[in-house]
Chains A and B, each alone.
Chain A
Amino acid sequence: MRRLIAILPVAAFVIVLVGFMVGLKRDPAILPSMLIGKPLPAFALPPVKPMAAGLTSAELVGEPRLLNVFASWCGPCREEHPVLLQLKAEGVTIDGLDWKEEADAGAHWLDENGDPYAKSGNDRTGRAGIDMGVSGVPETFVIDRRGVVRYRQVGAITPEVWSQTIAPLMAKLKAES
């Protein structure tokens, strides 16, 4: 018995270690969403930046766009941010949903790092995010011109994810009448 207990720490360590090894190598996998092919659930959120407009689901129609779920406390969002700014410069419409934090923190984040969003809303309680099935940040939904969710990206949009997956989809959505 004592011997078994003494072996536990090293066994746990090996498991964690294997986790790190795999973590260093692994390719991001795609996670489908129940929402694909359905319209966004309804929400109306207050603004992130003071003196700005908020974000309501009804407004997210008219042209294909991205809805990006972010938070200032999220590390991977920091990686993703420059990519979003680049996309904005290229003319992609991105709206932001600031998830599970005070609007102040989100506003400060946008002040410091630049604001890639056309509109942004603060989802302090996380309710809107939960309705959309958000499991963590960052996440991004691709929405067509009728306001229907067409794709869900779990995790950061890297330049590769953009060029290989989302950009072709956006081009296709633009071509749809």
Chain B
Amino acid sequence: MTAEVGQFALILAFVLAMVQALATLWGAHRGEPVLMALGRAAATLQAGFVILAFGCLAASYIACDFSVALVAQHSNSQQPLAYRFAATWGSHEGSMLLWVLILGIYGGAVARFGGTLRETLQARVLGVQGLIGVAFLGFLIFTSNPFLRLSPAPAEGTELNPLLQDPGLVSHPPLLYLGYVGFSVAFAFAVAALIEGRVDAAWARWVRPWVLAAWVPLTAGITLGSLWAYYELGWGGWWFWDPVENASLMPWLLGTALLHSALVLERRGALVSWTILLSILTFSLSLVGTFLVRSGILTSVHSFAVDPQRGIYILGIITVTTGAALGLYAWRAPSLRTGALFAPLSREGGITLNNVFLVALAATVFLGTFSPVFIEIMGKDKISVGPPYYARTFAPLAIPLLVLVVFGPMLNWKRDNVAAVVRRVRVPAALALAVLLIGLVTVGWKGVVSAAAVGLAAWLVAGAFAIPGRRWWAGRANLSRSVRTTPPAVLGLSLAHAGLGLLLLGVTGVTAWHSDKVLTMRPGDSTVFAGRTLTLQSISLADGPNYQARQARFDITGRGGPYTLVAERRAYASSQTTEAAIHVSPLGNFYISGGDEADGGIVVRLWDHPLIVWIWIGGFTMALGGLVSLSDRRLRLGVAARAPAPAFAPAPVPAE
């Protein structure tokens, strides 16, 4: 019964999405308030029915209703409740339902809280969202129905892939989807603006919180995915340049560019059509991110079941959405008013440069990811380019951008002069130079690249703290007041940029100074590695719920010790997994993985990963920065227009 209710709710949502799209677009065109109100009501109702459908599927999983084919394929009654619930989005169909759920909720939110928007703009945004909803609900209902019944119903289901039964992986997809789908709102706003032929500061004020609301979970989701890969995949890599990872990185890079360009549009009315274009491209790449791996065009570790039928449908959706939006752009963008002028050395200029680099980075990743497809077309065969390609293309573009990051918030809007800018960055610059020198003294000339990278990290972190720091210094007469009145947006900006520095610190540490050792150890054997003494105490067998584990127990003394680590190798019915033992500390992780058996002992691999935790601390700090920014009342909808000017303004006011 539950499954049928879900199925029916999904069909109703599909019909309502059509009503939403037609009523709003037609209503806005004819200026009919009644039609537009109908569209708004349809959007709210659609959200309700999609929530109902998702709830039905989740309830079927929780109740172990194995007569639903999807439930039988992805869960069994032995699985803990939390993983049974999480299995709701652990399959292709379920994850599509999650996608549609988030889309529906966002649509409902625009309908409910968009009252301060120009009525026709709100209606057109809802119309575009309705069209996207029609496409995806149709995809779900016609090619990936989650509610199919099995007859006869099996008594027990098949287990969810053991690799996926992990807290990190349970929250990873919803976070990514919140990000991907969040960009659909910016996309809908961009298309609506093109239809209206009007883009103004109010438009940017509306779009910016939505972009930020998408960017925050996307950042957290990518970071979480990297963390999961590190502890689960067993050899200590943290980023693999896998197509699916790249697919999440591309919208992140463009979304970051959009976040900054929308700021220029809001504050200065410049970069108008560029911001529109970025909104379109960011969502298009999000579509690519969710769907391309399911189409069979590329292969990846993460692939869901591939079905060429779905591949064609997906390609169709991407073609229509992106193609129509870009077509509209080609037609309408030239008639949008051109933005205000600004000097090359200005906040606007800095952000434009930031955008150029971010877009170039995204293009690099795009070419790398799709090189198998393009090389194949040029007459060769399916070939991947790997880390060597990215090391040569991504890093040289990322480094100048990281240098520039500190300058951006220090620049004045409109125009600035070089001497003043240099004066503003002297404290972070001095700190960075000091770190570089200490680094050089410690590691010598051979380590000049890594010392420079650590200096760059210091530059980023110090530069980030200089933003509120300068403000507080100017208001030091009444310090507690100036700290209290610092807008959350300033703190958020500072945190996000500092996170970037911490991320760089982690990447540098692990890339430049990691070391490893491989040896065969028998129980009782000791070895010295990276300042630690390691003794293999015992090797024993243990039974897990659905696997047999061989546990190697190590005693470690020395750096950070003493402590004990247990490295496991698990034999499941069909596959083996390695559960590495990791000792985590801010200075570095110690990573042990136990491999094959060899003459009376086991092959043991040891890694020392200096500073690696800072990669994820940095990533989460960036997400936190976004969250803090989002809490700023000036970003809250409708309030922005009435926000009072800051009570005092130390020369450049870093206001985002």
Contact = CB atoms under 8 A, between A and B. Distances in A.
Interface of A: 2-3, 6-7, 9-10, 13-14, 16-17, 19-24, 26, 28-29, 31, 50-51, 71, 73-79, 100-101, 104-105, 107-108, 111-112, 126, 135-138, 154-156
Contacts of B598: 51
Contacts of B585: none
Contacts of A79: 299
Contact of B386 (A7, A17, A100): A100
Interface string B322-340: 1100110111011000000
A177 to B, nearest CB: 33
Contact of B235 (A28, A29, A71, A105): A105
B319 to A, nearest CB: 6
B32 interface: no
Contacts of B333: 2, 6
Given A6-B334, A71-B386, A73-B241, A50 B298 contact: no
B330 A6 contact: yes
B387 interface: yes
A22 B377 contact: yes
Interface stretch (B76-84, B368-376, B405-413, B481-489): B368-376
A15 B596 CA distance: 49
B572 interface: no
A20 B297 contact: yes
B578 interface: yes
B243 interface: yes
A50 B605 CA distance: 9
B383 interface: yes
23 contacts: A2-B333, A3-B334, A10-B326, A10-B327, A20-B297, A23-B376, A24-B308, A31-B379, A50-B595, A51-B598, A73-B384, A75-B243, A75-B298, A75-B384, A76-B382, A76-B383, A77-B384, A107-B595, A111-B578, A135-B383, A136-B375, A136-B384, A136-B385
Given A24-B315, A28-B376, A136-B375, A155 B576 contact: no
Contact of A2 (B311, B334, B575): B334
Contacts of B299: 75-76, 78-79
Nearest to B326: A10
Nearest to B373: A23
A76 B329 contact: no
A14 B318 CA distance: 11
A76 B334 CA distance: 43
A74 B383 CA distance: 8
Nearest to B323: A13
Given A9-B277, A154-B383, A104 B605 contact: yes
B576 to A, nearest CB: 7
Contact of A31 (B329, B377, B381): B381
Contacts of B295: 24
B300 A108 contact: no
A64 B243 CA distance: 35
Contacts of A107: 595
A75 B327 CA distance: 34
B242 interface: yes
Contact of A28 (B297, B382, B596): B382
Contacts of B516: 104
B380 interface: yes
Interface in B318-367: 319, 322-323, 326-327, 329-331, 333-334
A100 B372 CA distance: 17
Contacts of A51: 518, 520, 598, 603
Given A51-B520, A104-B518, 16 more contacts: A6-B330, A14-B323, A17-B319, A19-B374, A19-B377, A20-B297, A24-B311, A24-B315, A50-B595, A75-B243, A100-B386, A101-B387, A105-B237, A111-B576, A126-B388, A136-B384
A29 B490 CA distance: 56
A91 to B, nearest CB: 23
B237 A17 contact: no
Contacts of A76: 299, 372, 382-384
Contacts of B312: 24
Contact of B518 (A29, A50, A73): A50
A155 B377 contact: no
Chain B contact-residue range equals 35 or more
A136 B281 CA distance: 29
B635 to A, nearest CB: 29
B383 A137 contact: yes
Nearest to B576: A112
A111 B596 contact: yes
A13 B319 CA distance: 9
Looking at B237, B240, B280, which has the most chain A CB atoms within 10 Å of its CB?
B237
B48 interface: no
B315 A73 contact: no
Interface in B231-289: 234-235, 237, 240-243, 273, 277, 280-281
B273 A6 contact: yes
B326 A31 contact: no
B383 A155 contact: yes
A35 to B, nearest CB: 16
Contact of B323 (A17, A71, A105): A17
Nearest to A155: B381
Contacts of A10: 323, 326-327, 329-330
B24 to A, nearest CB: 25
Contacts of B647: none
Give 9 closest A-B pairs by Cβ, nearest first: A155-B381, A136-B383, A10-B326, A50-B518, A73-B386, A23-B373, A74-B384, A6-B333, A108-B235
B638 to A, nearest CB: 32
Contacts of B596: 111
Interface in B379-417: 379-388
B645 interface: no
A108 B572 CA distance: 17
A6 B194 CA distance: 12
A26 B384 contact: no
Contacts of A22: 377
Given A79-B299, A155-B382, A20 B323 contact: no
Given A6-B329, A13-B323, A50-B603, A26 B376 contact: yes
Contacts of A101: 386-387
A108 B596 CA distance: 11
Given A6-B330, A29-B381, A104 B235 contact: yes
A63 to B, nearest CB: 26
Looking at B280, B301, B384, B519, which has the most chain A CB atoms within 10 Å of its CB?
B384
Contacts of B374: 19, 23
Contacts of B388: 100, 126
Contacts of B605: 50, 104
Interface string B285-311: 000000000011111110000001001
Contact of A135 (B237, B377, B380, B603): B380
